[in-house]
């Protein structure tokens, strides 16, 4: 079946773009794990660094573009969903920061990367169960498409995590500032 106009419009739906990137994370972690026995540090770094960068850009893009809209348009649960998500993003960022201070391919490095993977797996599942369906229920196609365009522009601007601080964000302050 070919793409219809409706299908191509949905490609820029921010929630589809987010879900797409979640799949990308899962695939990239599997590919990184393929290297765990044979991986040269250079090959590991080549697999890990773009993944770490994308995790940072993804979390920041959600905090910039997705969660502020969820907070104002979502259900009563949006506050808690957002608080949880920012806390999870911090755990992912902490693990990335821990890995970056360790020798690539060493046991402590793998431990940090495993922590990152676990925190991320847990977070993706929760976001897909809670924030994303809440957002979809309380937004229309036009809004999701315009936010999708911002999502794409954010990724272009911050390619390879350029201009992303990687610093933790206080979840309570974030919710208060964006509600
Ligand atoms: Fe996400
Ligand atoms: Fe997230």
Is residue 10 predicted with pLDDT exceeding 80?
A: no
CA of 112 to the centre of ligand 2 (A): 19
Q: What is the pLDDT of residue 134?
A: 98
Residues 163, 157: contact at Cβ < 8 Å?
Answer: yes
Per-residue b/e over 148-179, b at no fewer than 16 CB within 10 Å? beebeebeeebeebeebebeebebeebbeebe
Output 8 or 76, whichever has higher pLDDT: 76
CA of 20 to the centre of ligand 1 (A): 9
CA of 160 to the centre of ligand 2 (A): 18
Smallest CA-to-CA distance from 172 within 62, 84, 76, 77 is with 84
| Structure token digits, residue 106 | 């060493």
Is residue 41 predicted with pLDDT exceeding 90?
A: yes
| Structure token digits, residue 7 | 């299908």
CA of 36 to the centre of ligand 2 (A): 26
CA of 127 to the centre of ligand 2 (A): 6
In the chain, domain spans: 11-178
- Could you read off the pLDDT of 52-105 as tens digits, one per residue? 999 999 999 999 999 999 999 999 999 999 999 999 999 999 999 999 999 999
Residues 159, 60: contact at Cβ < 8 Å?
Answer: no
Smallest CA-to-CA distance from 170 within 56, 114, 89, 115 is with 89
Q: Which ligand is nearest to the CA of 91?
A: 2
CA of 123 to the centre of ligand 2 (A): 7
Q: Which ligand is nearest to the CA of 15?
A: 1
CA of 41 to the centre of ligand 1 (A): 28
**What is the C-alpha separation between 82 and 149, in angstroms, rounded?**
22
Q: Which ligand is nearest to the CA of 82?
A: 2
Q: What is the pLDDT of residue 39?
A: 79
The average pLDDT across 20-36 equals 97
CA of 81 to the centre of ligand 1 (A): 12
- Positive or negative, the CA dihedral 98, 102, 104, 108 is negative
CA of 38 to the centre of ligand 1 (A): 30
Is residue 5 predicted with pLDDT exceeding 90?
A: no
In order of 7, 49, 82, 156, the CA distances from 126 in angstroms are 26, 25, 11, 27
User: What pTM does this model have?
Assistant: 0.93
- Could you read off the pLDDT of 91-137 as tens digits, one per residue? 999 999 999 999 999 999 999 999 999 999 999 999 999 999 999 99
């Amino acid at each position: 079946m070919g793409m219809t106009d409706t299908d191509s419009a949905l490609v820029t739906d921010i929630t589809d773009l987010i879900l797409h990137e979640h799949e990308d994370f899962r695939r990239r972690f599997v590919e990184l794990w393929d290297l765990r026995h044979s991986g040269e540090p250079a090959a590991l770094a080549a697999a890990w660094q773009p993944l770490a960068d994308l995790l940072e850009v993804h979390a920041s893009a959600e905090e910039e573009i997705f969660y502020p809209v969820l907070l104002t348009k979502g259900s009563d649960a949006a506050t808690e969903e957002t608080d949880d998500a920012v806390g999870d993003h911090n755990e992912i960022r902490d693990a990335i920061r821990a890995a970056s201070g360790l020798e690539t391919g060493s046991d402590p490095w793998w431990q940090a990367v495993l922590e990152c993977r676990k925190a991320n797996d847990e977070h993706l599942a929760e976001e897909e169960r809670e924030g994303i369906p809440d957002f979809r229920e309380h937004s229309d196609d036009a809004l999701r498409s315009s936010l999708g365009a911002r999502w794409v522009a954010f990724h272009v601007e911050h390619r390879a995590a350029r201009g992303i601080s990687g610093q933790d964000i206080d979840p309570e302050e974030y919710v208060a500032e964006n509600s």
